[in-house]
Amino acid sequence: MKPEEKGMRPEKIAEAAEITERVSGALYMILADYDGMDMPTTTELKNSLRDNGASFNVVKNRMLNRVLPEDASALLKGQTAMIYGDGDVVEVAKVIKKFTATNQKPVVKGGFVEGKAVSAADVVELAKLPSKDVLRAMLLGTLQAPCSQLVGVMDQKVASLVYVLSAVKDKKEQEA
């Protein structure tokens, strides 16, 4: 049911619309349980995430449940924070993993990457991947390898020809 049909208060409708706007504009959204995090720790995490183009917002489970797909309701237990953005999800997953290793909080519940549901284990696996720039460099190296090998082979053939001509020249000079 749409919020208007249920007779929701205008501020709740506005809050649901704001969450919908954030979620729809994001490339990824990771849900985490932030229970037990104090304000300085939360601020430190927010700053780390902001440096990587992500945002951290605490939301009510009921409001988030209205915007997310039906299968996401299992993730909405306890206190929930949204970590979302449109940058490199791998870098954000690395920040969360590093922060969690130090502070034992937040606990990742799961999330969505490009519209597909991911589990908490998938987020940990994302953190193990190289960054987007490193992957691009690896792809470029793979694409350039055949060309550079061809240049090396051609260079070797030219060098071989030069060695043969040099040997012929030296032999002719010795005979003369």
Q: pLDDT tens across 96-145, in order?
A: 888 888 888 888 888 888 878 888 888 888 888 887 788 888 888 888 88
Mean pLDDT of the chain: 82
Q: What is the mean pLDDT of residues 6-32?
A: 81
Q: With 0-12 CB in 10 A as exposed, 13-18 as middle and 19+ as buried, what is 13?
A: middle
Q: Which pLDDT score, from 0 to 100, does residue 6 have?
A: 61
Report the range of poorest mean pLDDT among 66-80, 83-97, 125-139.
Answer: 66-80
β-sheet bridge partners, residue 83? 30, 56
Measured CA to CA, the distance from residue 142 to residue 92 in angstroms comes to: 26
